[in-house]
Amino acid sequence: MYICPMYSSELIKGTLKTVILKLLSDTKQMYGYEITQKVKELTDSKIVITEGALYPLLHQLEAEGVVTTETVNIGKRIRKYYTLTQTGNERAKEKIYEFADFIQTMNILLDLKPSV
């Protein structure tokens, strides 16, 4: 019933890294546009990742050695695929665990009742 086109940006900001790591750990390699589409599709357009948030983060993850890239020529343009490294996989697990734990805490804190 409550369909939000987008959550507040503070909420998204804090979770974006976790979301990307999770997607990359499920699907071996993805390119930027694919990630935005996948998130849109999975969340029924409730979460839309902007390019302005996605690419800076991907480049930061690459600099930190969490992801590596592989380029594939598609006609005249190049497509860059992002893949998790070994540390990336561990980081993804940590982040997901941390977030799950956070949700549980928030459940208690905000006294949330399951909506279903």
Partner 1 sequence: MLSLTEEQIAFIENDIKVRGITSPDLSIDLLDHICCLIENELDEYRNFETVYQQTLLLFGEKGLKEIQDETNRLLTFKHYYFMNSTMKISGYVSSMLILIGSFFKFQHWPGANVMIVVGVFFLATLFLPLLFILKFKSTEENNRSIVLSIIGFISSLLICAGILFRILHWPGARFMIIIGCVLLLLGYLPIYILSIYKNTTNKINATATIILIIAGVGLIVTESGTGLSRATSDSFWRGVIESNEMMNYNKAVNHRTYELMLLKEGTDTIKRNQIIELENASKSMMEYTSKMKAYLISITEGITLAEAEKINLDDLRSSGWNDVLNDRLLSDDYADLDYTAKKLKAKIEAYKQLLMKTSPEVDLSNLKTDQVMVYGELIPWEKSNFEQLPLPLVIYNMIRIELSLQMAETAVLSKIK
- We find the least distance from the C-beta atom of residue 11 to partner 1, in angstroms, to be 18
Residues that bind partner 1 in the complex, under the rule CB under 8 A: 31-33, 36, 50-53, 55-60, 63-64, 71, 74-80
Longest dimension (CA), the chain: 54
Residue 28 or 77: the one with the smaller Cβ distance to partner 1 is 77
Closest approach of partner 1 to the CB of residue 61, in Å: 9
Please report, for residues 2, 3, 43, 107, the alpha-carbon distance to residue 6 in angstroms, rounded to integers and kept in the order given.
11, 9, 10, 21
Q: Could you tell me the CA-to-CA distances from 93 to 19, 36, 90, 99, 115 in Å, in that order?
A: 11, 21, 5, 10, 27
Nearer to partner 1, 45 or 50 (CB): 50
**Least gap, CB of 37 to partner 1 (angstroms):** 8
> Which residue lies nearer to partner 1 by CB, 13 or 104?
13
